[in-house]
Every structure is written in C-alpha cells, then in structure tokens.
Chains A and B, each alone.
Chain A
C-alpha cells in the first residue's frame, strides 16, 4: 500500500504541475519571438553555443562521490544489524571503510580535492 500511494503521489505531482501550467497557458499572454527568446547574458549577445566545456573538477568529484555513495548503500544494512552482530561488524566495516579511505587519501595527496 505504501508504494501504491507513492505512485499516487507521483501522479499528484505531475497532475498538479501540468494543470497549473495549463491554467497559466490559458491565462497568460503569449508573445514570443525576437530578442526576447535569446538566452539572457546581461544584455550581451551570446557567442557560440552555451553548452561549453566546463571545469574537469566536477567529473573528478563525481567519481569520488560515486565510490562513497555506494559505500553508504552498503553501510545502511550494516547499521541496522550492528547491535546483533557486535564487534565482528565493527571490524569488518572498519576494514571495508579503511580500503576506501586509502583511496580518499590518495586522491587528497594527488590534489584532486583542491578546486582549480
């Protein structure tokens, strides 16, 4: 039932936004064209495409993020059963995280975490 309601709410969100946009479509003035539809760059004309190369740093952070996010996904079930498993759970998770932390230290030493 929970996930059925989630589906229902997805429908609600889509329905809400689309009906509101539809009402706005009926009420609001529409007068497209000309300079109004150019991208806004504080009055300057845009040179070339706006889909430009951006800082490679974003990709590096995304890669490190991916590793730690997957690790967090593994830690959720670990945290739930931690009390029952006890000290073994701590040692195992400690080994697992320390391997990842070696990676983080490597990235840190390589200067990946510096924003350039």
Chain B
C-alpha cells in the first residue's frame, strides 16, 4: 500500500453495495502492517482531523441552530445582525469569549478549577470518535463500544462535579451535586435501554449493531420492546445532557449558572461547547441503536423505492437522522417546564428503573420465543 492507493480509498462511499465497516483505525493498522509509515501517519492525522472538525463544526452549527430555533419558537427572529441571517454569530461569540478576562475566584481550588474544562472536552472528544457516521467514516470501533460510551459519559460527570466543587461557590456546589445525582441516576436507565439492543444485536460493537439492522431498524424489528427502550433511552439521555426539562444543575432562575457560575471567558466556552456537542453524541447514539445508524430507509421488498433510497449516501442518512433528534431535543426545551428535584428522582427511581428492568425481562422472553421481525 502506498500513497497512490490512499487516494483510491472511497472516504465518502456513495454506493451502498459495500456496507462493510472500515474504520480509520483499521486503515491505519493496515498501513502499519504494510510497513508504510507515511500512510499510517496520514490516517492518524486524518482521525484527529475528523474528530477536530466534527467538534468545531458541530459546535458552531449547533449553537447557531439552537438560537435560531429558540427564536422562532418564541416568534422572534433569533440572531440576524452578524453575517447573513446571523450565520456568523457563533464565530463572533467565540472571538468575544477569547478576548474576555479569565476570572478565577480568590478562594477557588485553582488546579481543579483549571482542570474541569479539560475533562468535559475530553469526554466529548472521545465520544465523537466512536460514532459510526458511515461505513467509511468512523475513527475507532472498539469491540466493547457500548461499554466505552457508558464509561465516557461517566467522565463527563466528573467534569461537572469538579467544576462545581472547585469554584468555592454555593451555587456551583449545589449545581454540581445536582448534576452528579441526576447524571448517575439516569445513566442506569440509559444502560438498561442499551442492554435491550445489545440483547437483540448480540454485540457491543457499534458497527456490528448498525450491521445487525440491515433487515430493519431495531425500533421496528424489536417492536414494543424496542419502542419502550427507545423512549426510556431518549428521556435518560436528555437528563444526562442536563437539558430542559432536566436542567436542574444549571437552573438559571435558582442557581444563576449552576456548576459553571464561576467560569468566564474560554473556560466557560469549553463547557458550553462540550454540552452542545454532547447533544450530537446522544442523538447519534439514539440513531445508531434504534434507527439503523447510516442504513437507508427501506420499505419491505418495494424495489423501486429502495433503490431510490440507495442513492442517498450513508453519511447523509446519518446526518439527517441525527439532525432530527437534535431538533427534538431543542423542541423539548421550549415545550416542557423544568422538573423539581423530587420529581426528577421519582421519575428515575420509581418509574423509569422498574420499566427498564421489566423491559429487559420482556426482551429476553421475546428473543427466546423468536417473536420479533
């Protein structure tokens, strides 16, 4: 394998005839085993570039989208001044935050205060790397993919907890404790919902979970069990993202800014960025687990329809499905009022968790009887 072969590799594979997942990591490993150091380096740089461009691009696009959608939900226009229809607003915000003073409270734990944004961004970057965007665009594909995702989510909690604790501010402390309690609680339900899909797919690897949906998405094939798991997972991931109606950790009317009250300038920007990009990671997971990932939408044996669907590249399918769920999350924000903390805990421990266990039991019965499509 030499540099010339590299250019013949279809990074954006249009035809759906080859649906075998080839990750960037596998390509790099192949290049390494072929003793081509340059090519290995090219793929390693490519993996960094993909993750970095996803992080930056999604950050800018999602912040703009959130403000525009929020505006239109409230019969406003949203940002309009900077650039055409305010498209440059996010960039202007980044520049503004870059030039702001970085204020650290006098009695804060300086080291932890500095370290918290690193943890948040770290969790987001590692989460982005495992998302199967198309058969050819996936940076890594570890065989314990689902466990990896669960572990990464845990890392994000640490960022919020450390940020709130180190600020030496009562609002921050309360916000951090709420964030910790909420995220770990809802992580249980999210894990139980993921387990249902693992039961059906028989694999923890995200690419294998997508491949297992070639004959139909799990939300359809696993019928009632899949639908229950989907709703539990959607609620739990909204809660893990700290988004309304579960935004108690940063409830601005009670805690000013929650765990990031004492953050300013770029340090604050990193929390913001990781929160928004995490929204994409969560939507991408919903799509991967329940809605066939990058698989096109097929209707039975209707060849004419299916061949038209084949024309759309997998990456576009994936982007479209994720965009829908991101929009849904933004829609939630302007639809549901914030929960109280006792309601939040009751919803998880007394409603979602028992449903999750019952659903696992039901799912294993469904698999044993073969009563699914």
**Are A17's CB and B346's CB within 8 A?**
no
**Are B98's CB and A27's CB within 8 A?**
yes
Please give, as numbers and ranges, the residues of chain B lying within 8 Å of A62 by CB-CB distance. 180-181, 184
With contact pairs A39-B105, A72-B195, A94-B361 given, residues A28 and B100 touching in the complex (Cβ less than 8 Å): yes
**What per-residue 1/0 map shows which CB atoms of B17-31 lie under 8 Å from chain A?**
000000111101100
Please give, as numbers and ranges, the residues of chain A lying within 8 Å of B171 by CB-CB distance. 40-41
Stretch at the interface among B7-15, B121-129, B234-242: B121-129
B233 to chain A, nearest CB (A): 14
CB contact between A61 and one of B129, B181, B191 (< 8 Å): that residue? B181
CB contact between A113 and one of B29, B350, B361 (< 8 Å): that residue? B350
Determine if A99 is an interface residue (Cβ-Cβ < 8 Å): no
Determine if B278 is an interface residue (Cβ-Cβ < 8 Å): no
**Interface size bucket, B side?**
35 or more
**Are B262's CB and A39's CB within 8 A?**
yes
Counting chain A CB atoms within 10 Å of each CB, the highest count among B51, B146, B177, B266 belongs to B266
Name B51's closest neighbour in chain A (CB-CB).
A9
Please give, as numbers and ranges, the residues of chain A lying within 8 Å of B29 by CB-CB distance. 1
Bound-state Cα–Cα, A9 to B155, Å: 15
Please give, as numbers and ranges, the residues of chain A lying within 8 Å of B174 by CB-CB distance. 54
Name A61's closest neighbour in chain B (CB-CB).
B181
Determine if A110 is an interface residue (Cβ-Cβ < 8 Å): no
**Are A5's CB and B44's CB within 8 A?**
yes
Determine if A102 is an interface residue (Cβ-Cβ < 8 Å): no
**What per-residue 1/0 map shows which CB atoms of A8-43 lie under 8 Å from chain B?**
111011101110110111011111100011111110
With contact pairs A21-B266, A28-B99, A113-B346 given, residues A50 and B168 touching in the complex (Cβ less than 8 Å): yes
CB contact between B342 and one of A1, A101, A114 (< 8 Å): that residue? A114
Determine if B185 is an interface residue (Cβ-Cβ < 8 Å): yes
Bound-state Cα–Cα, A52 to B345, Å: 22
Determine if A106 is an interface residue (Cβ-Cβ < 8 Å): no
Please give, as numbers and ranges, the residues of chain B lying within 8 Å of A4 by CB-CB distance. 25
Q: Which residues of A57-114 are within 8 A (CB) of B?
A: 57-58, 61-62, 64-65, 68-69, 72-73, 75-76, 79-80, 82-83, 86-87, 89-90, 93-94, 97, 101, 104, 108, 113-114
**Are B105's CB and A28's CB within 8 A?**
no
Bound-state Cα–Cα, A50 to B125, Å: 32
B112 to chain A, nearest CB (A): 12
With contact pairs A1-B28, A39-B168, A86-B368 given, residues A72 and B192 touching in the complex (Cβ less than 8 Å): yes
A112 to chain B, nearest CB (A): 9
Stretch at the interface among B134-142, B283-291, B294-302: B134-142
**What per-residue 1/0 map shows which CB atoms of B332-359 lie under 8 Å from chain A?**
0000000001100110011001000100
**Are B198's CB and A76's CB within 8 A?**
yes
**Are A20's CB and B188's CB within 8 A?**
no
With contact pairs A5-B140, A21-B266, A69-B188 given, residues A83 and B367 touching in the complex (Cβ less than 8 Å): yes
With contact pairs A20-B266, A25-B102, A37-B104 given, residues A13 and B180 touching in the complex (Cβ less than 8 Å): no
Bound-state Cα–Cα, A97 to B350, Å: 16
Please give, as numbers and ranges, the residues of chain A lying within 8 Å of B47 by CB-CB distance. 5, 8-9
With contact pairs A13-B122, A101-B357, A115-B345 given, residues A41 and B169 touching in the complex (Cβ less than 8 Å): yes
With contact pairs A54-B177, A101-B357 given, residues A8 and B188 touching in the complex (Cβ less than 8 Å): no
With contact pairs A9-B48, A24-B98 given, residues A2 and B140 touching in the complex (Cβ less than 8 Å): yes
Determine if B167 is an interface residue (Cβ-Cβ < 8 Å): yes
**Are B106's CB and A37's CB within 8 A?**
yes
Name A115's closest neighbour in chain B (CB-CB).
B342
What are 18 residue pairs bridging A and B, where the CB atoms are less than 8 Å apart in the complex?
A2-B142, A12-B125, A13-B126, A28-B100, A29-B101, A37-B105, A40-B169, A40-B262, A42-B256, A50-B167, A65-B184, A75-B360, A76-B198, A79-B195, A79-B199, A80-B202, A90-B368, A113-B349
Chain A positions within 8 Å of B, measured between CB atoms, are 1-6, 8-10, 12-14, 16-18, 20-21, 23-25, 27-32, 36-42, 46, 49-52, 54-55, 57-58, 61-62, 64-65, 68-69, 72-73, 75-76, 79-80, 82-83, 86-87, 89-90, 93-94, 97, 101, 104, 108, 113-115
Chain B positions within 8 Å of A, measured between CB atoms, are 23-26, 28-29, 32, 44, 47-48, 51-52, 55, 97-107, 117-118, 121-122, 124-126, 129, 139-142, 144, 146-147, 150, 165, 167-174, 177, 180-181, 184-185, 187-188, 191-192, 195, 198-199, 202-204, 256, 261-262, 265-267, 270, 341-342, 345-346, 349-350, 353, 357, 360-361, 364-365, 367-368
